[in-house]
Amino acid sequence: MEWEVVIGLEIHAQLATQTKIFSGASTAFGAEPNTQACAVDLALPGTLPVFNENALRMAVMFGLAVNSEIGKRSVFDRKNYFYPDLPKGYQTTQLAEPIVGPGHVDIELDDGSTRRVRIHHAHLEEDAGKSLHEDFHGMTGIDLNRAGTPLVEIVSEPDMRSAKEASAYARKIHAIITTLGICDGNMAEGSMRCDCNVSIRPKGQEALGTRTELKNINSFRFIERAIDTEVARQIDLIEDGGRVIQETRLYDPDRNETRSMRSKEEANDYRYFPCPDLLPVIIDDSYIEAIRKDLPELPDARRARFINDYGLSAYDAALLSAYRQQADYFELVVSITGDAKLSANWVTGELARYLNQQDLDISASPVSAEQLGGLINRIKDDTITGKIAKTVFEVLWSDGGTADSIIAAKGLKQVNDAGAIEAMIDQVIAECTPQVEQYIAAEPDKRGKMLGFFMGQVMKLTQGKANPGQVQGVLKKKLDERC
């Protein structure tokens, strides 16, 4: 039987407020446990929550960015459940009247097409605390620093049909929230987490199958792996005569398997009711329009501009506009070099490779946009070759400085002297007699590829400093004269 995969995502994004959603406690990451939770966060008797307007403003920004309806009246509810890291016994969230209503985003697929993913709604809520297991030898510690941290939970419709589409949607949401500056998007620190609702159904069937929820996935790669693993499990289960149970499951990346955590609760299980300590939030058109007016350029618009203004490919434009810091970095490099394509190649190539190797965000790059722009300018004016530029970049990364100072200190200027280049080519031809004879004996259409060997020898002889264009022209002429 041919199966169709149905996926919906619930993305939790931590809003970049300085204080919590209902108290003045700090939201800074990495503080000592239980140093950033006040009486309000714990709902101690006699305390009352005060709503953080910054969280509201950020939620409205998100809603406008994803073409959503904004709720001019939204209500906070209490979601009641008992868990060690939730001392209040309830989570303050929104159920029936969320701040952000239906909207959509478009994602780009590998075949160049786009798919529209509908957003059901997005609501504001507070985060719970965190259970700590590693340092307590059979016991569990509780850190309440995160309790009360503002989240916006973004709930999609089940519009995705593969793990890759789900990953592309999550990346698009990541690009939007980081561009807006409402979330730092740091998935390793839990600033953005994803629950994946996964089901399968026979292809052509309209009714949805029973879904499972994969909880708290914290990387794009794991989203794809977890979904593919769960889909395979559900197909095997059904084809062996079993049935899928609606439940919450944990993804174990080390074993690449999903495991049952608990049966899936329904809304009734949480006994929602409006929070008696918080009034409904009422906003008007002027509030919404003032926020709309200040929205930054969004990733889709920036991608289109990169294509139209810089002549970049759709792939490069999508890569560079994926998040704001990288797009800003790239545009600063272009402003220095005036060469968008070469700048794009270096940002997505050598720079990205070094950042990935050291697991660094571009905002923490040891090589600034100004330094990279200076290096690219030395390639453009033929001071150094592209190969030597990689050596200069390595020094910039490890020791700092400028391209000019490194080129001067290490004597890396490109060799453009025609006489010197011709002499080196003659030396290579004289030392590579067997290869020259093979070149002469080869069919004319095969000689182009064979030229690469001689180019490599000349560049090796000059330690990569000979002008490649000059070398290729003279080398080909000299070899062809022998044929």
Whether the pLDDT of residue 458 is over 90: the answer is: no
Distances (CA, A) of 413 to 257, 385, 403, 466, 481: 54, 8, 11, 9, 30
CA distance 175 to 324: 7
DSSP state of 363: G
Task: Spell out the alpha helix ranges (H) of 6-102.
Answer: 53-65
Supply the pLDDT for residue 241. 94
Q: pTM of this prediction?
A: 0.82
Is the C-alpha dihedral spanning 340, 345, 346, 349 positive or negative?
A: positive
CB 135 within 8 A of CB 33: no
pLDDT of 17 > 70? The answer is yes
pLDDT of residue 212: 95
- Percentage above 70 pLDDT, the chain: 99
Taking CA atoms, 17 is separated from 37, 111, 128, 373, in Å, by 15, 39, 16, 34
Dihedral of the CA atoms 38, 43, 44, 49 (nearest 10)? 70
Mean pLDDT of the chain: 92
**Which domain-ending residue is among 256, 287, 318?**
287
The pLDDT score that the predictor gives to residue 410 is 85
Which CATH number fits the domain that encloses residue 470? Answer: 1.10.10.410
Whether 470 and 439 share a structural domain: yes
Burial (0-12, 13-18, 19+ Cβ within 10 Å), 236: exposed
More confident residue, 323 or 392: 392
| Whole-number Å distance between alpha carbons of 174 and 12 | 11
**Per-residue model confidence (pLDDT) at position 264:** 65
Residues 422 and 406 in one domain: no
Q: Look at residue 292 and tell me if it is in a domain.
A: no
- Which tokens in the block code for residue 333? 């490099």
Give 459 or 226, the one with higher predicted confidence.
226
pLDDT at 291: 98
In this structure, the number of other CB atoms found within 10 A of the CB of residue 126 comes to: 24
Co-location of 366 and 396 in the same domain:
yes
Q: Is residue 330 part of a domain?
A: yes
Q: Which DSSP letter does residue 288 get?
A: H
Cα–Cα distances (Å) from 441 to 435, 446, 456, 482, in that order, read: 10, 10, 20, 10
Spatial distance between the Cα atoms of 219 and 170, rounded to a whole number of angstroms: 9
Same domain (yes/no): 223, 280 = yes
pLDDT band (50, 70, 90) for residue 444:
confident
Is residue 47 assigned to a domain? yes
Q: Of 252, 287, 322, which residue constitutes the final position of a domain?
A: 287
Output 436 or 311, whichever has higher pLDDT.
311
- Parent domain of 364: 297-410
482 Cβ contact list (under 8 Å, min separation 6): 436, 439, 440
Residue 271 domain-assigned (yes or no)? yes
Report the pLDDT value the prediction gives residue 261, as an integer from 0 to 100: 85
What percent of the chain is modeled with pLDDT above 90?
70
Structure confidence at residue 263 (pLDDT): 72
Domain end among 410, 430, 446: 410
Confidence band, pLDDT 50/70/90 cuts, at residue 240: very high
Q: In total, how many domains does the chain have?
A: 3
> How far apart are the two ends of the chain, measured CA to CA in Å?
63
**Span 11-34, average pLDDT:** 95
Do 268 and 321 sit in the same domain of this protein? no
**144 and 281 together in one domain:** yes
| Same domain flag for 279 and 305 | no
Q: Compute φ and ψ for 107, nearest 5 degrees.
A: -115, 150
Residues 364 and 248 in one domain: no
C-alpha separations of 98 from 69, 93, 480 in Å: 10, 9, 75
φ and ψ at residue 78, rounded to 5 degrees:
-100, 125
pLDDT in tens, 221-237: 999 999 999 999 999 99
Quick one: pLDDT at residue 84? Answer: 87
Question: Residue 27: is its pLDDT beyond 90?
Answer: yes
pLDDT at 150: 97
Give me the mean pLDDT over the 432-443 stretch. Answer: 88
pLDDT in tens, 38-77: 999 998 999 999 999 999 999 999 999 999 999 999 999 9
Q: Tokens for 171? A: 């990346």
Pairing status of strand 192-202 against strand 150-156: unpaired
Say if residue 267's pLDDT is above 70: no
Residue bearing the bigger pLDDT, 264 or 159: 159
359 and 310, same domain (yes or no): yes
Q: What is the pLDDT of residues 366-420, one digit of tens each?
A: 999 999 999 999 999 988 988 889 999 999 999 999 999 999 888 888 777 788 8
pLDDT at 160 over 70: yes
Cα separation, 148 vs 448, whole angstroms: 66
Judge if 278 and 370 occupy the same domain: no
**Residue-level pLDDT at 293:** 96
Same domain, 201 and 336: no
pLDDT at 339: 96
Quick: pLDDT tens for 81-128: 988 899 899 999 999 999 999 999 999 887 878 899 999 999 999 999
DSSP string over 303-314: HHHHHHHH---H
224 in the same domain as 125: yes
Using 50, 70 and 90 to split pLDDT, how confident is the model at 265? low
